[in-house]
Amino acid sequence: MFTKRRGLVAVAIGACLALLAPAYTGVAEPATAKTGRTLFEVTAPDSAARTKVARTGVDVLGQNKDVLTVAAEPFQQFALRATGLKVKSLGDYEAQLAALGKSDFTDREVGALDFPSGYTGYHNYAETVAELNQTVTDHPNLVKLQSIGKSYEGRDLWALKISNSPNTDQAKPEVLFTCNQHAREHLTVEMCLRIIKQYTDGYATNASIKALVDSREIWVVPSVNPDGAEYDIASGSFRSWRKNRQPSATDPNRNWGYKWGCCGGSSGSVSSETYRGPSAFSAPETQRVRDFVNSRVVGGVQQIKSHIDWHTYSELILWPYGYTTADTAPGLDANQAKAFSTLGKQMAAKNGYTPEQSSDLYITDGSVNDWMWFQHKIWSYTFEMYPTSSGAGGFYPRDTQIAPQTSRNDSAVELFLQYSDCVPRIIGQSC
């Protein structure tokens, strides 16, 4: 939200910057934004074709059936056409980004660090923190708020625990929700905040919510990549920024430590949107979440049993592995694959998303799901939220979509929580 006071502060900061440098653009910005990008639709009907597109280095924004939407810089367009796939230009991406929220441009021009008009319902970092603190005030007996450490730029990564005795470590199955690994996927922050609201405000009145909270310990991390998210909204238009804000900006979802960089599902080139970093867990943000998850091994047993990592867009439910298209692989047997797909499909029946093994989308290595599963046997899913196509707003649907598109997942989340103690129960097996 753009407040008057923040506006004044922003004007003051803007005035200082104007004295320091002729133009605001690029001041103290180590990892530079992209410019000159063109949007394309590429017809890529299977994982092999989509992986080929991803390997050209273009920024893959989303998938809708056989069509991938990508953003390509001028030097990438030759490689894109060289795939031999059908390629159709959708025009200048920078112009389309600049057009979003245009009416509020003057306010944001001076670096107001906020969402523009049409988007003020989204929570920026300060508003997210305020919301979490308000939840603590409203439900002191249901939640505990803790920092799991800091991002590259020093922002706290907050984890909210929901439990009927939040300040004690109960012997109950734990479940984890993470949001906003990718900076521009702002709708996911709203999803984590929705889950928090549902399972706190709903506790007193809704019997099934109470039963779930009473039998589990629920962890929610609303923003794994706050630096990137703030950077995405900090200038006159959305930047479509994906990575974190290290000087060699890294894709957090290619930086996890299982099969890191193994299989052509990430890039070793710093400028790529899927840059994996110089080593596994080189990103402070993935380190913090890794250390938190590792810390939940109590008495030799991982307490977190299941996990959803929220992304946008394409309306998909994905499960491991991402590094290989094989259905079974070391650490993943046929029964486990069946449990993953059975719960995935049942959740998809609730929200209308498309369920598939994550490598059916395209090959990724170093993703969070593969690490959570292989390292800890945590039943780890990726949800790719609304929309299905760039035409419906891509990463930037208007804030009027927040309520319908987050509540759309209520019943899928409820089903997930019901099985979160023992996912194999869904195929009649015990844990």
Which parts of this chain interact with Zn ion (CB under 5 A)? 182, 311
Residue 185 exposure: Cα atoms within 13 Å on the Cβ side: 32
364 near ligand GEM, judged by CB under 6 A = yes
What 3-state DSSP class applies to 120? Answer: coil
CB 368 within 8 A of CB 380: yes
Which one of Zn ion, ligand GEM, none interacts with residue 361, CB within 5 to 8 A by kind? ligand GEM
Binding status of residue 240 toward ligand GEM by CB under 6 A = no
Among 41, 185, 315, 384, the active-site one is 384
Active site residue 384: yes
Please enumerate in sequence order all residues whose Cβ is within 8 A of that of 225, keeping only pairs 6 or more positions apart, or say none: 151, 180, 181, 182, 183, 243, 244, 252, 285
In whole angstroms, how close is the CB of 170 to ligand GEM at the nearest point?
32
Residue 390: exposure state from Cβ atoms within 10 A (0-12, 13-18, ≥19): buried
Within 296-335, the residues that bind ligand GEM by CB under 6 A are 311, 318, 322
| Residue number with CB closer to ligand GEM (147 or 269) | 269
Residue 389 token pair = 């196509």
In angstroms, give the least distance from the CB of 124 to ligand GEM: 20
Q: Is 361 in the site for ligand GEM (CB under 6 A)?
A: yes
Give the three-state DSSP class for 195: helix
**Least distance in Å: CB of 271 to ligand GEM?**
17
Residue at shortest CB range from ligand GEM:
322
142: which 2 tokens?
A: 């249901």
CB 238 within 8 A of CB 232: yes
Nearest residue to Zn ion on Cβ basis:
311
51: tokens are 């992986």
Query: Six-digit token pair at 125?
Result: 């970092």
Query: Rounded to an integer, what distance in angstroms lies between the CA atom of residue 215 and that of residue 208?
Result: 11
Q: Judged by CB, which is closer to ligand GEM: 104, or 251? A: 251
Q: Which of residues 41-100 bind ligand GEM (CB under 6 A)?
A: none
Choose among Zn ion, ligand GEM, none what residue 367 binds, the Cβ cut-off being 5 to 8 Å by kind: ligand GEM
Rounded CA gap, 13 and 53, in Å? 42
Only one residue has tokens 């959740």, namely 347
* Per-residue interface string for the shown chain with ligand GEM, residues 198-227, x marking contact by CB under 6 A: ------------------------------
230 binds ligand GEM per the rule CB under 6 A? no
362 binds ligand GEM per the rule CB under 6 A: yes
Q: In whole angstroms, how close is the CB of 173 to ligand GEM at the nearest point?
A: 24
**Using the rule CB under 6 A, which residue among 253, 266, 325, 389 binds ligand GEM?**
253
- Given ligand GEM, Zn ion, none, residue 184, with its beta carbon under 5 to 8 Å by kind, binds none
Considering only 107, 285, 315, 384, the residue that binds ligand GEM (CB under 6 A) is 384
Of the two residues 188 and 420, which places its CB atom closer to ligand GEM in the complex? Answer: 188
Determine the interface stretch with ligand GEM among 73-81, 148-156, 330-338, 357-365 (rule: CB under 6 A).
357-365
Q: Please report whether residue 365 would count as binding ligand GEM according to CB under 6 A.
A: no
Do residues 225 and 233 lie in contact, with contact meaning Cβ atoms separated by under 8 Å? no
State how far the Cα of 136 lies from the Cα of 99, in Å rounded to an integer. 38
- DSSP for 270-287, please give it: TTSTTB--SSTT-SHHHH
Name every residue whose Cβ is closer than 8 Å to that of residue 301 and which is 6 or more positions away in sequence: none
* Residue number, 306 or 364, with CB nearest to ligand GEM: 364
Binding test (CB under 6 A) with ligand GEM, winner from 240, 382, 388, 401: 382
Among 309, 300, 320, CA closest to 370: 320
For residue 301, the minimal CB distance to ligand GEM (Å) is 27
Q: How many CA atoms lie within 13 A of 392 on its CB side?
A: 15
- How far, in Å, CA of 155 to CA of 288, rounded? 12
- Which spans of this chain sit near ligand GEM (rule: CB under 6 A)? 182, 253, 311, 318, 322, 358-359, 361-362, 364, 367, 382, 384
Name the residues annotated as catalytic. Answer: 384
